[in-house]
Structure 1
Amino acid sequence: MKTIVQKYGGSSLAEDSQLCAVAERVARTRRQGHRVVVVVSARGDTTSKLLASAGRFNTQPDHRELDMLLAAGEQTSASLLSLALQDLDIPACSMTGPQAGVRTCSAHLNARIKAVEPGRILKALDEGKVVVVAGFQGASPGGDITTLGRGGSDTTAVAIAAAVQAARCEIYSDVDGVYTADPRVVPDAIRLRTLSLAEMKTLAHHGAGVLNERAIDYALEHGVTIHASKSHGEGGQTIVRKGSGAGQSRIIGIAAHKNLVSVQFDEGADRKRLADILDDYDGFAPELADGASGCYLLPIDQLADVEGLADSLQSEFGAAVEVRYPLASVSAVGFRAGQDADILSLAAENLTDAGIKVRQSFTFPHAVTCLVAADKVKQAAQAFHAGFGITESEVADVA
């Protein structure tokens, strides 16, 4: 019997009817003779609501307490799905991340998985049960609940797939695979049939929301093949696996971060102190061209109190740090894209022609990124996709 790991995102479980439909899908997989582990996220916008609740009681909430609070969302999903499966006469049991053997470092809000001890999962599978695991969470060496940062349930699923030697890891969301851009934003975006893990890592780093970057890192390290599919209704899929990638300088996709805080600092800032404050957040830090300054870009949805953080940074660092929000980033991703001056020039030209002001530009080895106003991100993604001329023939055989 093959073991299959399936992961369902929060939007796939938001309504009761959707959760029941997921239970039916899992039941079909089990009845086909497979051993099934399911990893679930918190339903709908539960995590955002819990973060907002914490902010109402404490403007700078303790990270350990936030982890205790946020972990409840995924645990609720796991229990409800297990109950729905039992109602379909499918033996099932739910587990928290710690019960499933997910062991992490000691960091709160942004912990990394160090190991998965799958003994309890394997025992339940041997008993014929479907195991439903609360994603996004694990246990620190001291036994505290930790959470894994944005998209952490993807990482949970891939890590468990590696630990139980699953045939594949199926990641279900509200789109049927990985596209050249978010199809909800760019209607003519093209689904990629196959994609290398390395290319997916770059897309995820720059905001493609289908798969989490840390999950891709784990898949690269452990050789896990990922099938990205749609939770509900008909659709195709994208298979993400080890491979050589595109192997040429061209743009294969557009990615965007929709709501960011930019923390820019100059030579007057204590970089170590700033890093100690900001490294707990799941952001990214491109270097600016002059080398004397730098920038952290942090997702707003990971911050319990944006204004409180901004005020705290300005109070401690003064003029050496500038905090701006809300901003968004749009990136053109392709092999060695950031090393091609023509791509950087075309990126700025695409946005200028669309009447969008470029706040700042960055280059990475395989991407070019521009910061824009948050309310312009949809228009910017559309301008990039059209301006770089991504067509079906160019991406038909990406991996």
Structure 2
Amino acid sequence: MLDDRLESPTGLHEHVKLLELRLRKRDEQRRAMLHIMGDLNEVNKRLGNQRKAMLHILGDYEKDRSRLAGQTERLDNSRRALLHILQDSHRSNLRLEDSRKAMIHIMGDLRDTTAEIQRREQELRDKQEQLVQAGKLATLGELTTGVAHELNNPLNNIGLFVGNAIDLIELDVSDGERSVRELRNAMQQVGKATEIISHLRTFGRVAPVSREPVSINQVIERALSLMQEQLRLRDIDLELDLGLAPAVVIGNAIQLEQVFINLLTNARDAMADSPRKVVRISARVGEGVVDLAFSDTGPGIPEGLEQRIFDPFFTTKEVGRGTGLGLSITYGIIKDHGGTIAVANRPGEGATFLIRLPRAPDDLPAPPAV
């Protein structure tokens, strides 16, 4: 049937058109297929890129997962550590609470102990003041003989001058000027006796211990005014070398006078059997200090006893003589004044007591007369 149509021109023409149509369709299909293949290639390329990206993402994920696993483990360790810390903190809080209670108890004990220490210190100061006062009274007792002689002289003179004035009046001697002169002389002797008694009362009274500028030379002179009759009665010579510079310290004049009287009394007793009896007192002003020396010509301190000479109740005197407190009180007073006292021993030749006291600043007012 096909061959019959090809034989006619019309059939051939139609057949050619049909073939062209088919060819065009095949060509379109081929182009479409090529286009599709191009799209498929593009898709495959994108899929390849996406696959690479996915593999990269999967690799990062694995890394992140590993890191996350490590972080999870660390967090878990941290959690356990935190729980341990919290437990320790709780136990520590309990211990701190116990420690706080213990500290409160300790602080209470410390307050009680501090108050007790302060009370005991005050008692000790009171006892020391009582001891110093007892030492002063003991010193006054030892000075009774010498003071009696000192008072006897002005009293005798008073009697003499007043007696002269009475005689003038009784004899009706109209010499008023002479009578007044005799009475004035008597009043001078009254002043001397009053001064001695006032000095004794001042030295022996109980008074608050104050500190003020004190002239060492004046205190030495006052001590000698009480002791000079004691020294004279025992044929003891006195040598003074007080220097020219003013020796001023911050201290208590009465206590320092007690120190000097104690040292003079000690020297007096030490030279009881010495053929030559001399007490030498020297004072020197140094850089910020005042140095004093009290020397005697007694037998000195027995060897080995120098370290005990300032101990309470220690004495080298015969039984019944002295209290054994003089040098101990002296040591305490000098220490309270911020000074030092030592003894330089010369066996067979005597002893020297060396005192060093802090010197008063130059800008302080002059010490009052004592």
TM range (shorter): under 0.3
Q: Which has the higher helix share?
A: 2
RCO higher in structure (CA 8 A, sep ≥6): 1
The TM-score normalised by the length of structure 2 is 0.22
Q: Which has the higher strand share?
A: 1
Q: Could you say which structure has the larger radius of gyration?
A: 2
